Structure 1
């Protein structure tokens, strides 16, 4: 153990050291470090959780990548593409793609005896991944798609069910405006609720064969394909590679394929999520600044309280650098104590919110019913390392005060 560390330990951990060092100003500095780190942990966990939850809901309704007809517009009344077995096989083995499924959409008007509502009927096939809707199913069951039978079962959102006073087991008519207005009667098999009202208000999930019959499509025709990737971080690259791979390919009717990522399909939502990162940076800078300056004041008070000791050490031959190391070690102990309590408070609050949903939100504004929290080890470690490094760097400035202390005058200082 070095002499500097030994003296710092004696200052910080001895009874006399406790009596002299832990003054009100130093306690405030420790509290500042603790609260600052706790706020930073909460901020990062909430923003990561919020982005992840909203992103997963958008992806749950629309997948990571969609392949549609190049001539399709932004409406839900789409121009079909014909899907061959060769295309499906190529997509399933495409690097980074883990699942491929077909879909079709058609706008309509849901009609009950007392009310009506505009909806989008989304048809899915036997290859559909029901994980998202199964996790958000509140009543009833997921519909079963039979390749040889045209099912009239659908699942609707809790929003539509409450708005139109529908329950599991009820039936309703949906009218589709086309050359000849057509009506279809559907049976409610299940009710889902995602909290993402922009989509809950619209989507009714049904058998894709219903839309094929309404539009007069062949068995291989769909509105598009939905693709899921293995790693979301690689989404942009996979989407770009897929776009160029399909650019020169056409279906049997001469239609060109158009691959777009969920970010391109919903730019406003994902741009909004990216802006949240700026808020986190601002909070981190503010909290580190507050914690750092409170710690600076604490270190200055410690140095002033130990002026007599500094003079004695200089008289005994200790140089300024060595004495500065002593007080930097003391600062390290104090910062460490504050960070320990900051981690305890921050992690505790994150766990409380994660398990008990104490702070709720308005789903119509935030797309979620409670503040989401996603606390991961990597973020926690990086926050602690960053806080420790920046706080210690801020201690270098005030430690230069030691070089200004005159041994002859400071030994008489009380």
Structure 2
């Protein structure tokens, strides 16, 4: 079978010989270093992708793709605005809400929360909170029934369960014979939800829209309308279209603005992690330089003989580029295989390690989520593999160039 001379000799040089076991050992270390770096890069970026996706889904399961609000005030005549929004293109759900701050108390336990008044049937069109109810039901919220659905962590902080009573204290004042006091309302716990995101499970409560308007004294007005779109990734464009259809009379905001800083920080962290972990690959790739330099010194006589037999300097350079590239390619392929395997099984491996060590790596009261998600992106795999290959090829240039500069007469003088 025909093989170019440079490839044939380069492949022969990659095999271990009796006199160069140390060089082979350095080559093995370089190969394993590249494999380790590629594996770490693929795994970390997959975890970061999964982290970003999981947060986006959980945030948008509670938040909304877009909201419509009155400029500088509460939204009145919202029924007509809601009808217009429902007719807008790419809007698949609309629901009204009233939002305000409050403080819940039960016995001696007190905790602040964001209270959101909703209509359960309409809320199901724009939110997934109903799918995360673990006790009770969102449908148990009824107008003038003064029921409340609490996040799991909030219920634990208050020490209450399904059917218990809590007191909601709001900033709105009430005039009484003994003076001005905060408004208070006794409420029944009719449901408990858990979305798996500590920020919401610890500080969010739902009540009926009619109860919220009475408690927060908004009369017939609401805080705004929540929209669900058919493509959340195009939320900015669709929000502008909805604002135009409403003649610019209302403020239409989308989730990319509400959480822009957070997701920008996640993206920046991904970029920084990619750069830092790429240095591992770079260090391993440049170990190939020292390996090939030693090979060139060891093969001085062989190079001189090949030159006297008519091998050109360019072909000599190709021989050592092939040898270094083989080391890099094998290391890259091992790293890609290891990275893909680890990224696809990280959600199983991490709980096993946590169980073995008896500790939890991601505490839910510190981090946004308590498990370690992973989403393998083939574009990331291709990008990392290409980076490792390019660095490997670059690392071979100097030793190969040095080999091509070998003078046969000088190298064979003492042979």
**Alpha-carbon deviation of 1:169?**
3.3
Q: 2:187 corresponds to which residue?
A: 185
Deviation sequence 1:52-87 (CA, Å, 0-9, x none): 333333323222322212114xxxxxx234334575
CA contact (8 A) 2:148 2:189 kept: yes
In 1, Cα distance between equivalents of 2:414 and 2:191: 84
In 2, Cα distance between equivalents of 1:151 and 1:329: 78
1:157 partnered with 2:158 = no
CA contact (8 A) 1:11 1:21 kept: no
**Alpha-carbon deviation of 1:207?**
2.7
Between the two proteins, the alignment pairs up a number of residues equal to 394
CA contact (8 A) 2:92 2:229 kept: yes
**Alpha-carbon deviation of 1:39?**
1.9
**Alpha-carbon deviation of 1:400?**
0.8
Q: 1:316 corresponds to which residue?
A: 309
CA contact (8 A) 1:171 1:188 kept: no
Q: 1:167 corresponds to which residue?
A: 161
Q: TM-score of the superposition, structure 1-length normalised?
A: 0.82
CA contact (8 A) 2:47 2:373 kept: yes
Judge which range, 126-135 or 21-30, deviates more.
126-135
Q: 1:205 corresponds to which residue?
A: 206
1:288 partnered with 2:284 = no
CA contact (8 A) 1:40 1:287 kept: no
CA contact (8 A) 2:136 2:190 kept: no
CA contact (8 A) 1:112 1:172 kept: yes
In 2, Cα distance between equivalents of 1:172 and 1:301: 77
Q: 1:144 corresponds to which residue?
A: 139
Uncovered stretches (5+) of structure 2, i.e. residues with no partner = 175-182, 355-360
Change (3 A) 1:17 1:66: farther
**Alpha-carbon deviation of 1:406?**
1.4
Change (3 A) 1:111 1:295: same
In 1, Cα distance between equivalents of 2:144 and 2:28: 72
3-state SS of the aligned residue for 1:201? helix
After the TM superposition, which residues 386-405 of structure 1 pair with which residues of structure 2 at under 5 Å, given as runs? 386-405=387-406
**Alpha-carbon deviation of 1:334?**
1.0
Q: TM-score of the superposition, structure 2-length normalised?
A: 0.82
CA contact (8 A) 1:312 1:407 kept: yes
**Alpha-carbon deviation of 1:300?**
2.1
Uncovered stretches (5+) of structure 1, i.e. residues with no partner = 73-78, 250-255
In 1, Cα distance between equivalents of 2:306 and 2:144: 91
In 2, Cα distance between equivalents of 1:385 and 1:93: 45
**Alpha-carbon deviation of 1:233?**
4.2
In 2, Cα distance between equivalents of 1:18 and 1:379: 41
